[in-house]
Amino acid sequence: MKVKIVEVGLRDGLQNERTILSTAYKQQIAGKLIRAGIRHLEVTSFVHPRWIPQLADAEQLVSQLPVNTAVTYRALVPNCKGLERALPTPVNEFAVFMSASETHNLKNINKSINETFPVLADVVNLAQQHGKKVRGYVSTVFGCPYEGKVSVSRVSMICEKLFEMGVYEVSLGDTIGVATPAGVKEVLGDLLTQFPAERLAGHFHDTRGTGLANAFVALEMGISTLDSSFGGLGGCPYAPGAAGNLATEDLIYLLHGMGVETGIDLDALCETSLFAGKLLGKKLPSKVLQSYVGVKERKRKE
């Protein structure tokens, strides 16, 4: 079994942190992540700098990332304007995003779901003209802060539209961390009757502690691409102080327990998260990280 881990901490993690890191620090973190074995990095988002001040240095950052042909750098783009800013940079891949909930989509990108499709189709089209691959993100797949449960048939319809446009993979986001393993089974069970597992990715948040259990269920159902954030960096705008993305360390620990070779050095990853936590002035929530610190502390005292 081979599992692709997409490290989204520098984008999805940092955009939910109050502290704004300097470009130099982000670049250092990227370097450390790569040395720890991370190969797929989502580094930033080319949205308008006013939207997400934490990622306002997109151009600057991507021009200063470590040069490593084994690494795929990805950036989010909301529309062709964003893509045009990103195209001349060393970013290898792009990602478009929309929500499976009408209300969330409207609040988040100020368009209805149907109005969003042509915007994203233009992005995919333009990216492909430049020989670049595009991933699709669907958010609130397992529940919406405004609408509650989201219909699986709507998720399925959106996936179909995104694949028709030419995205190579759809990442199914549990944006507010409400999914449970039972819900993941239900939604994936349905989607996998229509789409091959290798074209779907799981993007779980740990807001209610279910992130890892959900990831495990997805893996058992054949999903082999999972998104996570080093240290569990990030938070949830709908529940301030609560956890955000599934922690990469916790996911790696699970995978190594399953005998899956990830090529990632867990200790080096923990050290990276400790470095980032110090910069952000907070203890990052990954349990493996906290256990790593505790075991280190105990050995120091002995």
Please report, as ranges, the residues that interact with a second copy according to CB under 8 A. Answer: 177, 179-183, 206-210, 212-213, 215-217, 236, 238-243, 247, 249-250, 253-254, 256-259, 286-288, 290-291, 293-295, 297-298
Task: Give min distance, CB of 55 to a second copy, in A.
Answer: 22
User: Shortest distance, CB of residue 218 to a second copy, whole angstroms?
Assistant: 11
Least distance (Å) between residue 235 CB and a second copy: 8
- Of the two residues 89 and 229, which places its CB atom closer to a second copy in the complex? 229
- Choosing from 144, 159, 236, 270, the catalytic residue is 236
3-state helix, strand, coil in the chain (%, to 5): 45, 15, 35
Mapping DSSP to helix (H, G, I), strand (E, B) and coil, where does residue 168 land? coil
Smallest distance, a second copy to C-beta of residue 182, A: 4
Do residues 94 and 76 lie in contact, with contact meaning Cβ atoms separated by under 8 Å?
yes
Q: Using the minimum distance from each CB to a second copy, give the nearer residue, 97 or 216.
A: 216
Q: Which is nearer to a second copy, 120 or 280 (CB)?
A: 280
In angstroms, rounded to a whole number, what is the distance separating the alpha carbons of residues 261 and 241? Answer: 33
* 239-272 residues labelled b (16+ CB within 10 A) or e (exposed): eeebbbbbbbbbbbbbbeeeeeebebebeebbbb
Contact in structure between 275 and 32 (CB atoms under 8 Å): yes
Rounded CA separation 231/26 (Å):
15
Q: Is 236 a catalytic residue?
A: yes
- Give min distance, CB of 208 to a second copy, in A: 5
Q: Which is nearer to a second copy, 137 or 204 (CB)?
A: 204
Contact 126, 80 (CB under 8 A): yes
Beta bridge partners of 170: 136, 200
Q: Which is nearer to a second copy, 169 or 174 (CB)?
A: 174
Give catalytic residue positions.
Answer: 236
